[in-house]
Amino acid sequence: MVLLYNYNKLSKYYEVLEGGKVDDTNLFLEKIIKKYKCKKILDFTCGTGAQSLWFAKRGYDILGVDISTVMLKIAKQKAKEGSLNIEFCSGDMRNSKFGTFDAVITIFNAIGHLSKPDFERTIKNINSNLKSGGLYIFDIFDLDFMEKNFIKYRFLDTAKEVNNTKFVRFNNNKLDRKNGLMTINQETFVQEGNKKPEVFKERWTMQIYSADELKSILKRNGFETLGQYGMDGSKRGGISILTVARKL
């Protein structure tokens, strides 16, 4: 059974907790987009706009889509504040049709929330939203890396302070190597100033794949794999695989 992460509950703090090295990833994405002369982009899991806003600022024709209306609301507000003319829509990467694009992106482990059958559905749907020769760029946790480096005990994942608000997060995860399924048990403490901390408890599953599995799935759904990298374009070998594929 696939358990889903509640993006609505923690949407207010999502960028602080999950931001990471967004610029490094976006710079590499733009390098690929430029190399293959892509102009029209579909960000199928735009969240709060980390990629959509980046590409819009650089003059690309980009459509931001997400299944979470709360995350979309934040993205729209950020676009308004930045005086960016960008369209955001509610949609599901498994079945929504928005036209024909030069590239489709789903970044930050978005496909990990899908079951294996739903990932296949999504690949087919992304294919239908791409022009011939169009790119699909996505990332996912690397199953081979996870197997070798998995932390089997409760651990401190995040501890930071931003704008007088403290964030502390613990993880206690389980890995089913046979089925490529990771169950994440997460407890997040958020304390604004000296107020009583809010505690958020989340449990969800992530479907994860090896690099070779991804290549096979892409091949049988009409794509060729052009490359697999780290999130910043470096040599693959970290927690995540960023895959660049082309529609045949």
User: Which tens digits make up the pLDDT trace of 150-170?
Assistant: 999 999 999 999 999 999 999
Residues 221 and 84: their CA atoms lie apart, in Å, by: 35
Indicate if 43 and 152 belong to the same structural domain.
no
Q: Give residue 1's pLDDT band: very low, low, confident or very high (50, 70, 90).
A: low
Q: How far is CA 48 from the centre of its chain?
A: 11
Indicate if 138 and 222 belong to the same structural domain.
yes
Indicate if 157 and 70 belong to the same structural domain.
no
pLDDT (average), residues 73-101: 96
User: Which tens digits make up the pLDDT trace of 167-201?
Assistant: 999 999 999 999 999 999 999 999 999 999 999 99
Q: What is the mean pLDDT of the chain?
A: 94
Q: How far is CA 72 from the centre of its chain?
A: 14
Closest CA to 203 of 171, 175, 180: 171
- Whether 232 is covered by a domain: the verdict is yes
- Whether residue 235 is predicted with pLDDT greater than 80 in this model: the reply is yes
In the chain, the percentage of residues whose pLDDT exceeds 90 is 90
**Rounded CA Rg of the chain:** 18
Q: Give residue 48's pLDDT band: very low, low, confident or very high (50, 70, 90).
A: very high
Q: How far is CA 146 from the centre of its chain?
A: 18
Indicate if 31 and 90 belong to the same structural domain.
yes
pLDDT (average), residues 133-148: 96
Indicate if 125 and 191 belong to the same structural domain.
no
H helical segments located in 67-169: 69-81, 116-128, 143-149
Give me the amino acid identity at 175.
L
Residues 89-100 as b/e (b if ≥16 CB within 10 A, e otherwise) read eebebbeeeeee
- Whether 24 is covered by a domain: the verdict is yes
What's 90's domain CATH number? 3.40.50.150
The pLDDT value recorded for residue 20 is 67
Residues 153 and 64: their CA atoms lie apart, in Å, by: 37
Residues 158 and 235: their CA atoms lie apart, in Å, by: 25
Work out the number of other CB atoms within 10 angstroms of the CB of residue 120: 15
- Whether 4 is covered by a domain: the verdict is no
Lowest mean pLDDT among 13-17, 110-114, 121-125, 128-132: 13-17
Give CA separation, 203 vs 38, 45, 211, in Å. Answer: 38, 21, 26
The pLDDT value recorded for residue 9 is 74
- Whether residue 10 is predicted with pLDDT greater than 80 in this model: the reply is no
Indicate if 104 and 120 belong to the same structural domain.
yes
Indicate if 227 and 184 belong to the same structural domain.
no
Indicate if 241 and 122 belong to the same structural domain.
yes
The pLDDT value recorded for residue 72 is 95
Indicate if 93 and 200 belong to the same structural domain.
no
pLDDT (average), residues 94-112: 96
Q: Strand 198-207 and strand 101-106: pairing?
A: unpaired
Work out the number of other CB atoms within 10 angstroms of the CB of residue 77: 12
Residues 193 and 122: their CA atoms lie apart, in Å, by: 43
Residues 43 and 107: their CA atoms lie apart, in Å, by: 8
Q: Which domain does 127 fall in, by range? A: 11-142+209-247
Angle value at C-alpha 219, between 22 and 245, nearest 5 degrees: 30
